[in-house]
Each structure stands twice: as C-alpha cells, then as structure tokens.
A = this chain, B = another copy of it.
C-alpha cells in the first residue's frame, strides 16, 4: 500500500507532496504541539470522543487554543478514509503552536493536521509468547500531555531494542513503575488487576480495560514498586495499536505470557471492540 497519500491540514485535503508545514512552525522548531492517535474497528473510530477530550486537555496544558469539534473531526476522518480508499486505519491528529520566528511564544494561529496510517500489525508471536521489557530510570515531563516532545520514548525504545527487548518501562526516582515508552502498564496478582495511578499518560485503552475488567477482577489503581515485579503472576502493556500485549520478561523477572487471566482480558477486549463497532455503525 502506498498510503498515506491524502492529508488534511487546516481545512484542506492535500496530496503527499503538498502535505507540508512551514519550517518556522513551532511544532517543528520547538516540539510545541500535541497529538492523539487511535484506530478504527470495522471502519468505526474507536472512542473518538475520549481521544478528542484528551487532545483538548493536552492542548490546554500547553496553552494552545483548540476549537476542534467532534463532528468536524468525524467528517475529516470519514473523508480521509474515503479519499485514501481505506476501510480500516490508524488515525493521527496534531495541533501545533503555528508559525513563529524568534519567539518562544505563539505568534500566529495553530496548525491542525490529520492523517490516516495503515494499522500497525505486530507479529502474532508477540501475542502468543509475550514480549520482553527492560526498565529505565525516567520520569516523563508533563506526563498527562500527549505532546510532540517524544525524544525520551524514542531513545528509550532504541536502548530497549539494543538489548533485544520490545520496549522500556519507566521507573521513577522513588522506584515506582510508571508506564512503558508508548503503552500503559498492568500487572495481575491472583484475581487483582493493578495499574499505576499517577504520573502517566491516561490511555484510552487503559480506561477500556479497567471498565471491562471491573466485573471480573479486583482493581487497584496505585503506586507499584519495582520490588513488586517478583510477586506478579502476569504482566501486560496496553495501547491503541498494541491492544493488550502480554509481557514474558521484565529485566530478569519472567512471567507466563499470555497467562490465563490475560487471555481472559484479551477475549473480553476483543468482544468489546466488536460490539463497539456494531453499536456505533450506521444502521
């Protein structure tokens, strides 16, 4: 597939060769911008309302005015799917501080970009055998804001790959586990599902998992100490494109992957996404 080929920028649908922003855009020169990312199921944007809500919150945290309305965004996505001839896709939307010369402050109107990408499909073996994580000492800056400042995630992933691991898991200076580079962290101990409460990006997939797990697990949103890793039965990470991805190893700690409880959650999640797209599709 050659797409993405049609992009949306500030009201216009543009070919790839035209889908460009000024080199003076604060999104480029200062990473001053926010984004969000989700996927479709059966062509239906999954929890778009929640992603847009988080996007607005991210923009607010940076002080970038955001007047994107849900209906308009839905229309843009629908049109992008049609123009790019895609039935299923990942969707990324970005809001930057717009063009500026010297200033560290906004000088003009924000730039809004939206485009679709092929679904990122990870190898089946990742789900059948689990992935390996390493831990790195790091406390994300402004963790609640999904900003364009993504260097720590990129360099941490580079470091993980060098050690034949899939991703890195951030551990803060108090020895608390926070999140993986691009996913939230979950642990299972007997019948309890545990996930960090603070200093993380609040994942939409994380919220869905907590919702569907409610009737099947005891749930603890709390600080998780690194030393607890030895006590967990099962561990997984979760994000829009990874869904529920079992973890077989963190540093020297090994886990059943996928364990029975994780398998149960994966089935519940699959059922949820299926129902979601059926519920939200046009009659």
Listed in ascending order, the chain A residues whose CB lies under 8 Å from chain B are 4, 7, 9, 16, 19-25, 27-33, 35, 62-63, 90, 92, 94, 96, 101-102, 104-105, 113, 115, 117-118, 120, 141-142, 147-155, 157-158, 161, 173, 181-182
Contact = CB atoms under 8 A, between A and B. Distances in A.
A158 B97 CA distance: 14
Given A23-B19, A173-B173, A158 B31 contact: no
A19 B118 CA distance: 28
Contacts of A20: 20-23
B154 A23 contact: no
Given A105-B158, A149-B149, A158-B63, A19 B19 contact: no
A33 B151 CA distance: 9
A21 B23 contact: yes
| Count of this chain's copies in the oligomeric assembly | 2
B115 A150 contact: no
Given A62-B154, A141-B152, 4 more contacts: A29-B92, A31-B151, A105-B154, A149-B150
A25 B22 contact: no
Contacts of A25: 28
| Shortest beta-carbon contacts, A-B, top 3 | A31-B31, A20-B20, A30-B150
